[in-house]
Amino acid sequence: MQLFTHFNTILYCLSFLVFSYVGNTKNQESQLLFVITWPFCIKLGNQFKVKLFCNQFSFFNQKFLFIHYFFAHARQQFDLKSVYFKCSLQQNYPYNLIQSQQINLQNQQFLQHLDKLFKKAPEKQLYLSLLLLLKEYFKAYQYSIKKKHKESMIQFSRYKISKQIILNELRNQMLTNNSIQLNTVLIDSLISVETQSIEFSEKLLECCQKKIEFHQICLSYEKKNEISKKADDIVELFENTIQKIEYQYKNYPLIRYQRCLSFGYAELCNDILLAIRIMNQSSFPDEFIYTKILTLNEQFISQKTVYLTSNLENQNVIKLSSNFHERIYSNVQNILQMIPNGIQEHHQQMIQEFIKTGKSIFFQKATQTLYQDFQLIKPMILMNDIVIQDSSFVAISIMTFPDQEYIIIVVDNNQKVRSLSQGFLDQINLDFENANLILGVDISLIIPKFSLISQISTPQYIEIKLPNFSQLQAELNQNCKSNNEKQHSRILDDFWQDHQRMNTFISLCTIESSKYNYHKIYFSYVKSLNKTIYYPNSLRTFQCLSNNCFDEIEEQVNIAIPYDQLELEQKLDMLNTARYEQTQTLIKYDDSRTDRIKRIVQSTQKIEENSIEGQMNQIAQSHSLQDEKIKSNYEMKHFQKYSLFEKIRGKNNLVKAEKMLIIILVLNQLLFFMQILLSLIDCINLFQQNLNKLELLKIKYDLFQPVETFIVTRYTIINYNNQFAAKQITKSQLDFYLKFPNSNLNLGFDDVYQNQEIILNRLELQEFLSQFYEIYIYSKTDIGEMYNITMRQALSILINYQYTFKAAYVFDGRTVTDSPYIFYSYRNLLTLYYSFDQLSHNLYLHTLLTIQEDFQKESSLFYPFLILFILFLGIEIYYDVRNNKILIKFVFLILYTPSVFILKEISRLSIYLESYVKNPEKLFRFKFNIEEKEKELKSYKELNQNFIQQKRPYITRIQYIKKSHLIVLFLQLAFIISFGIIKENFITSYLTRYQNTCQFSLEVSHLGTNIPTIYAMREVLYYRWRYPFYKEKQLLLILEQIKDCLKQVHNITNDMSQLTMNDYLLSESFGEYIDKLYQTSLCEQLPGDLQERSIQLCQTTLGGSLRKGLYSALVYIYTSVQNEMQINEFYNKTENTVNELEGVFMVSQIIKQMNTKLWSDVVKSTDQIQQIISIVSFLYLLFVIMNLIIIFFLINRKLERQYYLSKRYLYLVPQAILFGNDAFERLAKGLLQLN
């Protein structure tokens, strides 16, 4: 059981610490984790039969520790407490949790029984856990303070968790049981003001040290760049420090901030005029004074306010405010040292009562009380707050002090006088050294019947008995000289007991009694019956006769008021008048005091009626005073020199050189942006135009490949019919042979019709289609008639002839025999063939010419931009040099100073550093005096006259060009040029590959046209005896056409066997496709249902060459046709062919498929190239945008900041030169007026 409970404890503690670290103060996640793991431990506990808590009150089982932790954290709405006891205690034990919450811990018998059990328990933490369970947080707090921490890690973790819970609960109780009047922001603000003021003073001294080090660097003749860099760092440090102090000064207008600012302006930044203004707020209320009305919290924070933090458990002081010893002179290490004697004996008990109940009149409320300083009690206004730090209560005490003294004595619980104020000693004319004559005296001897009088809390008149202290002191001195010396205490007792030697005084007093039986007696006055009362200026009477102590605060604490300051002064005068009259009335025992008070009230009303007029008069007087002060400021001897810094603050814009540099940089980037856009648009247009040109190169193929394929199919049918007519084949063989060509007849016609529509609609071919050609049209005679018609009309006639062939076969079931009608179609077809052949050749030549123009165009785009970019680089360097020259002139302002003045400046700053470095708080007492400063400047003037001829050596070698700037500019130029180089190389490579692709695409398209053309024209030559209308010239033209086609077939066959994809706009996948066509059977590559219809024919046609690939098929076609032509030039057929033209049709379809894939692959490759160009252009566009952002938001601001800092190099110029050298003043003003 112990193993599992320890494991659960470790798990819970770790989760608590983790969630506390990440900011989960409620620790709900750790509770949920505990709830998940707890049932497992409960089950194990039941298995091992552990004694239960409710049966035996035994705490030896550590599982109850977890129960108490759990219940201390869990919320009541979960109702998990009753659920646990119902499950784990099985509802049959006499003790349950609901009843335990109702148990009163004041039951001594129950507590004693628990104490006995816990004394025997090995785990003392269980008692603390039980107290948390029963919500006895104060007892748990007392127990945790006494508990020693020498424990194991697990036990210490348990203790820390429990202690945190206790402190949180007690803190919540404090907040609940007190009516908070002031916001806790006041505490944070005060500590922030104190902490930041110390930080600011230390920062100013650091700036002073940095300035000394900088002047030492100037004496060592360092390089200009190093001096400039150091100057920038120091000026920036000065600016940041001053700005932070100014911001804090506007929020909290304290003298300490004013003194810090005046020191920073006058001694560090050399801005004498601004130092005068900050010290003379009434002269310039709108410039450097506060911009918002002060609130109550901020008014409470004043120079009279101090604070300290202390440990609430042992009362030891942790931290004192910087101005603490300005108000309290004793060395306070424990809070008890500030508690008046007679009260401090009960202070610890008060603290315990406050922790227990959470109630206090000082908690987050400003309350009047007393403190003790060198055995004298003084009034103060105190406000406390409690925070939790390092698992303990830390008290933050904020105190502010009235300026006047009170007449107060403190009586302890033994009725002895223990403390008194200086005001009381003044009233009875007793020195502080003789205060022991009254301290320790029974109060009943001073105030008769004190036990009865102290029961009255309202103001009352009393009689006071006091001895003649001069006689008493004389008797004591005489006793010291006497041989029979008595004890002083006996002499004092005898003197106080002798009523005849006592003087009688009267007083109006208020007695505050405490439940701890000590008393605080406040006197309005102490008047001897035979003497006139004397009111010293430092004495303040008890002005308020009510029980509300806050009436005492209004004259001592700067509290925000809803009316103007002038009206406040009027009302304070009225209040003091009324109080004085009231006091005089009480002294004289005048029965008509009521009437006199009425008259005072009436006079007060009259004064209030005239307050507006008086207020206006005072405002007018204040304005006249302000005008006089302003005039006096302008009558200073060196005012013109002081005003030099007005120009610094008033002009922060860039000079012309910096503006031009920014403009040139922006124009350079815009030019680059334009180049990228133009290049991208040009590339996109180039790719689209080249694709269109490449598509035009296939124009002959698109028209004649389906036409010739259709003719080959028709001749296949005619040949088989002729063989059947010659009885060379049977009817069944005829039907078998015609099955394949019949199914292909429609394919050729459909492709011709579709391609013709595309050709007729191409804008690029409109001029070619409008040209006239000699076309024969069969009409009536066998000779025919020749007409000059356009190519568009000729193509229409061609499609009509094709349709006639198809219709005759579809409707008549047979092909049209060769006739003059057909003859003219062949003759016209030959004319069209030559025309389109010439068109393809011209298009190819035009494409080559365009490629060369594109090469030249790339160069024409690249070099002009290159020249412009180089020109811009030169302009950028020029304005950068000009800008650097201006900035260097500001550095020369620092180097203008002779060494003797630099040493004097170092000596002047070292004096401040030595005075304040050990105690930075002394800087709060620094007060700038313009008269002393001008006396100092006068001595500087004389020193300048003595050293007027001395010149400090300048830097001989000046570099106006910064290497870093040059490197950046050249890198930028290189990056810009790289785009043009990349784009030019890319486009050059593309155009080279495009040129090769055009040639290859033209050859492949010719191959698709040449194969069916060879066999179609071969059939015409074989059957020339059937065509008497052919002349010998025309037959020779047909033969020449066959030879040209065979030559092209031979060339493309060799080229395709040596194809390299990197030289073309083709992908590797297309190269793999070509290899597949060359190496595998074409029967498997046939498209669509053609493969199914030609399974048997494909294996035997063209000598079985299709099974060996495209290369074998082309070689077979070329060889067989070439052999036939060499035999008799196609005069006669040596044998009838079977399944030959079907193979030609299949090869034609394979080439058609290859053309389609070639075109799609070229388009895909072009798109990829276009995407690459677009991506590269987009990246460079991002670079341009990034450069523009850098120019506007980094370079521009850096130049502004550099110029801003350079003008403030005057901060670093020794005052002896800055205010004592007229030549330097003219030089500085000239630089500041640069544009």
Does the pLDDT value for residue 986 go beyond 80?
yes
Q: Residue type at 969?
A: L
Mean pLDDT over residues 374-392, rounded? 85
Least confident of 745-754, 884-893, 985-994, 1178-1187: 745-754
d(C-alpha 1137, C-alpha 265), whole Å:
115
At 823, the pLDDT band (50, 70, 90 cuts) reads very low
Q: Environment class of residue 780 by beta-carbon count within 10 Å: exposed (0-12), middle (13-18) or buried (19+)?
A: exposed
3-class secondary structure, 136? coil
What pLDDT is stored for residue 1178 in this prediction? 94
pLDDT in tens, 452-502: 899 888 999 999 988 888 888 888 877 776 655 556 677 777 788 877 788
Which position has the higher pLDDT, 847 or 604? Answer: 847
Q: Where are the beta strands (DSSP E) in 1055-1105?
A: none
What pLDDT is stored for residue 234 in this prediction? 93
d(C-alpha 15, C-alpha 13), whole Å:
5
Longest dimension (CA), the chain: 183
At 591, the pLDDT band (50, 70, 90 cuts) reads very low
What pLDDT is stored for residue 238 in this prediction? 93
The b-or-e profile of 1164-1203 (16+ CB within 10 A means b, else e) is ebbeebbeebeebbeebbebbeebeeebeeebbeebeebb
Query: Helix-strand-coil percent breakdown of the chain, rounded to 5?
Result: 70, 10, 25
Which neighbouring-strand residues pair with 369?
A: 380
Q: Environment class of residue 951 by beta-carbon count within 10 Å: exposed (0-12), middle (13-18) or buried (19+)?
A: exposed
Mean pLDDT over residues 958-983, rounded? 86
d(C-alpha 496, C-alpha 619), whole Å:
59
Mean pLDDT over residues 74-80, rounded? 38
Does the pLDDT value for residue 1145 go beyond 50?
yes
User: Is the sign of the CA dihedral 38, 41, 47, 49 positive or negative?
Assistant: negative
End-to-end CA distance of the chain: 87
Does the pLDDT value for residue 789 go beyond 70?
yes
What pLDDT is stored for residue 816 in this prediction? 54
What pLDDT is stored for residue 937 in this prediction? 77
What pLDDT is stored for residue 619 in this prediction? 38
Is there a contact between 152 and 159 (Cβ–Cβ < 8 Å)? Answer: no
Q: Mean pLDDT score of the chain, rounded to an integer?
A: 74
**CA-CA-CA-CA dihedral for 1212, 1216, 1218, 1219, to nearest 10:** 140
Backbone angles phi, psi at 763, to 5 degrees: -65, -35
At 410, the pLDDT band (50, 70, 90 cuts) reads very high
At 1016, the pLDDT band (50, 70, 90 cuts) reads confident
d(C-alpha 1078, C-alpha 1106), whole Å:
10
At 3, the pLDDT band (50, 70, 90 cuts) reads low
Does the pLDDT value for residue 585 go beyond 50?
no
Q: Residue type at 258?
A: Q
d(C-alpha 638, C-alpha 635), whole Å:
9
What pLDDT is stored for residue 871 in this prediction? 94
What pLDDT is stored for residue 101 in this prediction? 44
Least confident of 377-386, 673-682, 792-801, 1090-1099: 792-801
pLDDT in tens, 288-313: 333 332 333 444 555 567 888 899 88
DSSP 486-544: PPHHHHHHHHHH-GGGEEEEEEEEEEEE-TTS-EEEEEEEEEETTS-----TTB-----
Backbone angles phi, psi at 468, to 5 degrees: -80, 105
Q: What percent of the chain has pLDDT over 90?
A: 14
Domains plus CATH for the chain? 2-176 (no CATH), 405-476+487-542 (3.30.450), 565-633 (no CATH)
Is there a contact between 1028 and 1185 (Cβ–Cβ < 8 Å)? Answer: no
Does the pLDDT value for residue 407 go beyond 80?
yes
pLDDT in tens, 184-206: 556 676 677 778 888 899 999 99
Mean pLDDT over residues 628-654, rounded? 63
What pLDDT is stored for residue 557 in this prediction? 33
Q: Residue type at 828?
A: N
What pLDDT is stored for residue 519 in this prediction? 93
Cα angle, residue 81 at apex, residues 55 and 127 outer, rounded to 5°: 55
d(C-alpha 576, C-alpha 767), whole Å:
115
What pLDDT is stored for residue 814 in this prediction? 58
What pLDDT is stored for residue 290 in this prediction? 30
The b-or-e profile of 98-125 (16+ CB within 10 A means b, else e) is eebeeeeeeeeeeeeebeebbeebebbb
Residue pointed to by tokens 């104060």: 138
Cα angle, residue 381 at apex, residues 376 and 383 outer, rounded to 5°: 125
Mean pLDDT over residues 648-673, rounded? 84
In which order are the strands placed within the sheet that holds 519-528?
417-420, 407-411, 519-528, 502-513, 460-467
pLDDT in tens, 345-365: 998 889 888 888 888 888 877
Does the pLDDT value for residue 151 go beyond 70?
no
Does the pLDDT value for residue 105 go beyond 50?
no
Which neighbouring-strand residues pair with 527?
A: 506
What pLDDT is stored for residue 79 in this prediction? 39
pLDDT in tens, 1115-1127: 999 999 998 888 8
